[in-house]
Amino acid sequence: MTKGASIPQELRIAILTLHSIVYMQWNEISTHLKVHPESARQMIQCSKAHVCDDFFALLNDVGHDEPVYPPGPSQKYPKGSEELERLKDIALKPESFGKNPVQLARLASLDIVPSTAYKYIHQHHNFAPYRPHRKPKLSQNKILSCIQFAQWALTQPQESFVFTDETWIEIGSPRGKLNVWRPVGSDPYDFAIPTDSRPQFTLMLSGHFVHGYRGEPYIWVRETRKQLCTNAHIPGTEEHSLLESINAEIHNYNQNQLPNNP
C-alpha cells in the first residue's frame, strides 16, 4: 500500500490491536500488514491522543486469567426466597387466575421489572400460560352416557333428529380470554376462572335444522330481574304460568297437611 492511500477501518483496528496487545512497533506492523510505516506511526499516535489511557489498559488486560471487573450483582430474589414463595402462593389463589406475571408480582409486593417477573414465574416456579377452562369437567358416568347415546343415535334414522346450536353474546363483560399462568402439567380444571362477571346486555343466537329443512335463526334476549317480575304478573307469559304452578303446589300442600304436620 502506497503512502497516502486510504486505510480501511478493519486495517486500522488491526494496527491498534497489534500495537497495544502484541507490542509491535510501526515498522513491524508495516511489514506484517503491508502498510507504510509512517501511516502506522501516525495512526497510533493519533489514537493515543484522542483515546484515554484506560482504553489501552483495557486492551492489555485482554486474555488475562483474572477478571478485569468484579462479577455482577446476584439476583434480587434468589430461588427459594420468601418473596418468590409468596409470588407462587398468590399465583395459586383462585382470585389470581387470569392475571399475568407482572400483576402477580405487584400483588406479591415485588419491586421488579416486567421481564424479571416473567423470568421468576417461569424459570423458578415452572409456570406457563394456558388457555382457561370454563366448563366443568365431565364425570366418568356422564362420559359413558354420552357414548351410549351416540351409539344409540347411530341406529336411528337421520330424519328423526333435530340439530340445534346456539351462542351467547355478552356486552359489557371482559373481552377475550385471559391466559392462566399455572404449573406445567397441572390439571387445567383446578385453575378455572370463575365466571362471576355481570354483563350489561346478553342475547343468544340460536338455529336448528333437520333432514331436508333448515329452520329460521332465533334471537333471544335475556330478561333482567325487573322484567321477569313484570312478566310474572302478565297472564299468558311463561313467567306467569310458572308462578301459577308454584302457587298451586303451595295451595295443595297447605290443603292436604294435618294441623300438627310441619
Hey, what's the torsion of the CAs at 189, 190, 196, 197, to 10 degrees?
-70
Regarding predicted confidence, which is higher, 48 or 72? 48
Which residues are CB-contacts of 146 (< 8 A; sequence separation ≥ 6)? 138
Give mean pLDDT, residues 160-179: 77
Q: What are 58's three cell numbers?
A: 483495557
Q: How confident is the model at residue 4 (pLDDT cuts 50, 70, 90)?
A: low
SS3 93: coil
Q: Is residue 246 part of a domain?
A: yes
Is 257 domain-assigned? no
**Which residues does 228 contact at the CB level (< 8 Å), separation at least 6?**
239
Cα–Cα distance for residue pair 202/227, rounded to 1 Å: 14
Task: Based on DSSP, count helices (H) and strands (E) in the chain, helices before strands.
Answer: 10, 6
Task: Provide the 10 A C-beta neighbour count for residue 180.
Answer: 22
Inform me whether the pLDDT recorded for 262 exceeds 60: no
Task: Give dist(CA 45, CA 77) in Å, integer.
Answer: 49
Mean pLDDT for all residues in the chain: 78
Residue-level pLDDT at 148: 93
Does 87 share its domain with 53?
no
3-state secondary structure of 191: helix
Please give the grid coordinates belonging to residue 13: 483496528
Examine residue 95 and state whether it is found in any structural domain, yes or no.
Answer: yes
- For position 2, what pLDDT does the model report? 47
Q: Around 28, how many Cα atoms within 13 Å sit in the side-chain half-sphere?
A: 9
Q: Does the residue 245 lie in any domain?
A: yes
How many CA atoms lie less than 13 Å away from 209 in the CB half-sphere? 4
* Model confidence band, residue 141 (pLDDT cutoffs 50, 70, 90): very high
Domain total in the chain: 3
Q: Domain for residue 67, yes or no?
A: no
Residue 249 CB-density burial (10 A; 0-12 exposed, 13-18 middle, 19+ buried): exposed
Specify if 260 maps to a domain: no
Q: Is the pLDDT assigned to residue 180 strictly greater than 80? A: yes
At 182-230, the pLDDT tens digits run 888 888 878 877 665 566 677 888 888 888 888 888 887 777 778 778 8
Q: Which residues contact 74 (CB under 8 A, 6 or more apart)?
A: none
- 47 lies in some domain: yes
Question: What digits encode the pLDDT tens for the residues 86-101?
Answer: 999 999 888 888 888 9
45: alpha, beta or left, given left = phi > 0 and alpha = psi -120 to 50? alpha
Q: Determine the Cα–Cα distance for residues 134 and 176; give it in Å rounded to an integer.
A: 13
**Residue 204 belongs to a domain:** no
- Residue 232 belongs to what domain range? 225-252
- The Cα 41–Cα 19 span in angstroms is 10
User: For residues 199 and 191, is the Cβ–Cβ distance under 8 A?
Assistant: no
